[in-house]
Amino acid sequence: MANIRLDDILYSQGFGTRRVCAGLIQQGLVTVAGVPCAEPAIEFETDGLRFTVQGVAWEYHEKVYLMLHKPAGYECSQKPGTYPSVYTLLAAPIRQRGGGAAAGVQAVGRLDQDTTGLLLLSDDGKFIHRMSSPKRHVPKIYEVTTRHPVDDRQIQRLLAGVVLDDDPKPVRAAACEKADELQLRLTLTEGKYHQVKRMIAAVGNRVEGLHRSRIGSLVLPPDLKPGQWRWLTTDDLASVQG
């Protein structure tokens, strides 16, 4: 990677406008390798670069690739209606990358406000498109709690395909297994509006709880608590993209 001016580095990471970033540096609020930097034009190699801004440690990331354990009661929208936005759970610089505009960090697909579990976020448009494209058939596993006991007939119908009211083409589960009397593990390779809830309703049952535990080969880590997020590693990216 080429060397980049420090004020441009801060700007790219979401620490404000270029003027704000230059001001942070000139005020001595930015350190690199423990050394205060007062000159905005000083250049650094970005690969593996770590720095602090107002005492907060940060690592340079050219693109954002995150996993978030989405809690219930949050909307996957920049402009939520009734509930708070999942974006408020992220660090401010991540929310502000790209000026906080549509080109900034976005959820890769959405989960309903009452649905919990693994949510990916990125500002890489190609990655978002690749992960969201129905042609890719990226498997997503959902843990479903139902109102009524699950029977074999319902499972077979979900595997064979059910017709939703807005699409005459049957929608099939890639896999479906009963985990308990009121628990299903459902694997889907496409995404439609309220798809799991509508599929379960189509076989005569009702979703009482919904949790996404896996995307591709990427499993929601047990130590990532609701509301917490972390950067994806190189191995994470490889597993989620198959």
Instruction: Tell me the C-alpha distance between 24 and 32, whole Å.
Output: 13
Instruction: Tell me the C-alpha distance between 54 and 204, whole Å.
Output: 56
pLDDT value of residue 98: 77
Instruction: Tell me the C-alpha distance between 125 and 13, whole Å.
Output: 17
Beta bridge partners of 141: 187, 214
* Residues 121/105, Cβ–Cβ less than 8 Å: yes
* Residues 152/139, Cβ–Cβ less than 8 Å: no
**Helix 152-160 × helix 195-202 angle, to 10°:** 120
What letter would DSSP give residue 120? E
Instruction: Tell me the C-alpha distance between 102 and 125, whole Å.
Output: 10
- Using CA atoms, how far residue 109 sits from 53, 138, 204, in Å, is 31, 12, 26
* Residues 7/22, Cβ–Cβ less than 8 Å: yes
Say whether 8 is catalytic: no
Closest by CA to 162, choosing from 135, 209, 197, 132, is 197
pLDDT digits (tens, 9 = 90+) for 132-150: 887 788 899 999 999 999 9
Instruction: State residue 218 phi and psi, 5-degree precision.
Output: -90, 120
Question: Among the options 7, 8, 112, 180, which is catalytic?
Answer: 112
pLDDT digits (tens, 9 = 90+) for 62-107: 999 999 999 999 999 988 889 999 999 999 999 998 765 556 899 9
Three-state SS for 183?
strand
pLDDT digits (tens, 9 = 90+) for 196-227: 999 999 999 999 999 999 999 999 999 999 99
Domains of the chain in start order, with CATH, are: 3-59 (3.10.290.10), 65-134+218-240 (3.30.70.580), 140-215 (3.30.70.1560)
- Beta-carbon contacts of residue 233 (< 8 Å; ≥ 6 apart): none
